[in-house]
Structure 1
Amino acid sequence: MIELSPQKLSTTARKALANAGWVFFDRIFRIATALLVGVWSARYLGPSQFGLLNFANVFPTVLTSLAGLGLANILITEIVRKGEYAENQLLGTAFILRLMAGSVSLFIIAVAIRLLYSDQPVLQAMILFTSSVLVCQSVDVIDLHFQSRVKSRLSVVAKSIAFVLSTLLRVYFLANHFSLLAFSSVVFVEAAFSALILVLIYNREEGQHVLQWRFNRVLAARLLKLAWPIMIADFFIFLYMRSDQYMLKELASDLELGKYTAALRLSEVWYFIATALTSSFYPTIVKLKTQDEEAFQRAFRKLLGLLTFISLAISVFISFSAPFLVQLLYGQQYAGADQILIIHIWSSVFVFTGVGSSYWFILHGQQRIVLLKTIGGALVNILLNIALIPGYGAVGSSVATLLAYMMSSYLMNYFIKEARPVFYIQSLAFVDIFKLNFIRSLLKPGQ
């Protein structure tokens, strides 16, 4: 059994923060690039075409949960716990399962768009390009392997190289006035390059080869049994993260959709911080859970406190700077997007605490509670969107999203008996933000 002394915890915490730092670097690099290329694209295409391009990107996310099978956190947990199955079996089985699910998802989308958009061949092609990521993401099991080893820098290197190549392609398309279809193809190029480079880095750095992976039918059944509630929950997460864009297109206009999408770019761009921090600390938290329940509870509370503090700081900053940011980045044609952003950014508070608390349910084998909460949040979001979009457009959709996240990630924990401990820890995290020493205690030995 691995001993986790206070000194060891301090070292591990620093390693986790360094690991998260690599993810931060990747996202900040992408944000900086988006200021040059993403905003250039938005101005070049205009709100209507920009909204249509993002609609093509949103469409395949309906089946992202099916293609991913909810295996991400389950696989990391199994690797860290080092159970009865070898890692080459875990990775090989997860890869085959995801490859099959991604291929089925792509086929379903191809049939669906043929029926729904038979008179729009360009839109069909755009959606097929963007849907290619459903197959390519099967290789992301390598990324999950790196996360379990707290080696996210290797994934960052692979994905950054692919991102740079795809960005250069976007710049070429912009400079030479390519069509909307060309811009949608960049999604496929980036996904394919990312998958290829991940494989090359894994083969070189880990002293192993993907050809050594093995599929295990018994393990496959076990993983699917553990992951199916997460898979369905991921689908409902899509419903209240992306269905608002579909409903805006149908109930409002492409113009409202374009403004909403522009605001989302500045709001959701921060969500990576929650994922990076939580995934970096997760391997350590898994070990604590198996060895010291009291230490696990302290670490979990500190993590939620840190996530809450960061999300509140971001929300306050964006709320005050939204008019300036929208005018600077998008120009007058996106007037009104700042009001959408001011409301939507506060959803990040509940996104951050929701991401952090989701790991608690997985560690306690309560994946079905995650499913129940997510379904509840999705239903609230859809009903509020139906009620608010016709009268208030994108602003109403932002209000619906905020209330849905608040309900799903926080308030529902109080009304579910098994989830009530999480509600109390989340509530204490809001109190802890007034005690700035909680950040220092994260690294202080013996705390």
Structure 2
Amino acid sequence: MTHAAAPRLAALAEELLGGPLPIRIRAWDRSEAGPEGAPVLVVRHRRALRRILWRPGELGLARAWVAGELDVEGDLYTALDRLAGLLWDRDPDAPRSPRPRPARLATLAHRVLALARPLPPPPPPPEEVRGHRARGPLHTLRRDKAAVSHHYDVGNDFYSLVLGPSMVYSCAYWDDGGTLEDAQTAKLDLVCRKLGLKEGDRLLDVGCGWGSMVLHAAREYGVRAVGITLSAEQAAYARKRIADAGFSDRVEIRVQDYRETADGPYDAISSIGMAEHVGSQRYGEYARGLHRLLRPGGRLLNHQIARRPLADEDEYAIDEFIDAYVFPDGELSPVGTTVDQLERAGFEVRDTQSLREHYALTLRRWVANLEAGWAKAVALTTPGRARVWRLYMAASALSFERNRIGVNQVLAVRTPASGDSGLPLRQPGWR
């Protein structure tokens, strides 16, 4: 029997997968196994196996990736797609090979342990969120602020490298051809048109990021705008950007939670890529709060990532990698649940548009920006943090492409008792 590590790892992987290995493996001893010409999963250190043994599944793999103990040579998207059976539910219509029984799994674990060596589990990489679950109940003001700070206070220069000049961290709106900047401007303008913004309107942007939406609305539509964020770094960047553009008299940026905002009425509210942070426990409160802040006839544009519904919703679990490294405490809901919650809060839902394919294109551009500026990205953060973002964005692009998740713009109106929504019979220019 060979003592080279890669053939032993390949044999273990094929037993766990119940079929042929979809990628090639290169181990720490430079041995290789698996199909020629396929992307190569590089296992740089035995510690990667110990992480997976002590935390089987996605989080163990993610820890090894962030620590640099796992890597991919070749196309990252192809590698992730071929490994999708390990990371996501496989296509229910696809033929399944039998998975090992529990007793066989125990034997396989012992074989992995022999390769990994029986040492204590390595500590999680420093980029992982530690102890955020210990800070009290989910989605309190304090805990939400800490979660948002973890994600968004990575550094404005880092985000500028990834997002490009638009500094818009949400799905762009693509046409054939065009740049990322063009597509992000098109998305902001689509939101403004759906909200029916006009000179003198008062706009609230919930989760305003670096100020792109409020700045576009003030410049192009003449609104007076308030943007709120929980990130101090975002707020400082947005204020400078708005001052440099000469709109400080029309646009205000606040470090403020949506639950602390009480200076309505507003003519329109945009919430673009923020509601994923709200959580199912607080979503009704979120929807009712925005309803109260709108004048009768005012419009809400809620732009939000959605997951697919489950046969048993009690089985929904927050993604371990995303929770530990990217969006602490973030939750996704089916679009039907979002519409239901908005209607229960008193809104009349008037339009829903899926932008799923648009987000896949956006994420691929962000990944390309990160890879092109890799050395600078590492210098601006850490090697581990840059690796988190590369994996997160590439895997998310595939999730949108494969219809595992979606993103939707929901237009809702605080329709007054008279029933006059203020919307025209036809909606020109919305598509």
Task: Give the TM-score taking structure 2 as reference length.
Answer: 0.25
| Higher RCO (C-alpha under 8 Å, 6+ residues apart) | 1
| Larger fraction in helix | 1
| Larger fraction in strand | 2
Which protein is bigger by CA-based radius of gyration?
2
